[in-house]
Amino acid sequence: MLLTNFLAVFKSKLFWIAAIGIVLASALYLKPNKWETYYQNKLGNSPHEVVVQAAGLITKGNDNLMAIDFGAGVGNETVFLLSQGFHVIVIDSQPIAFKMMRSRETLTVKPDR
């Protein structure tokens, strides 16, 4: 049931409009020099519970797992998804996020081709 609801929301246009709006608003609200402080405070946080629950439902019986982490930040959800066997594409608007993510020991980062 949770997965069905999650997929329905994920597929809706309103979800994507809201997600893009949140990313743009946060990019405008936080000045570039504040991003580093923001991300420092996020390092090591647990992944969001909805990601943990959805991954638990999706991984059952699946070998070829793929996820896209929009607004990946320092990669807390990415690290979790990788530990669950997912291949993860990360997207973030702030270069400092990728710099901090690459410095994490638990990630193997492959640059764009």
At 1-59, the pLDDT tens digits run 555 555 555 555 555 566 665 666 666 566 657 888 888 888 888 998 988 988 888 87
How far is Cα 67 from Cα 47, in angstroms, rounded to an integer? 14
| DSSP state for residue 47 in the 8-state scheme | P
How far is Cα 11 from Cα 20, in angstroms, rounded to an integer? 14
pTM value?
0.65
Specify whether the CB–CB gap between 35 and 96 falls below 8 A: yes
Q: Is the pLDDT of residue 76 over 70?
A: yes
User: What is the percentage of the chain residues whose pLDDT exceeds 90?
Assistant: 7
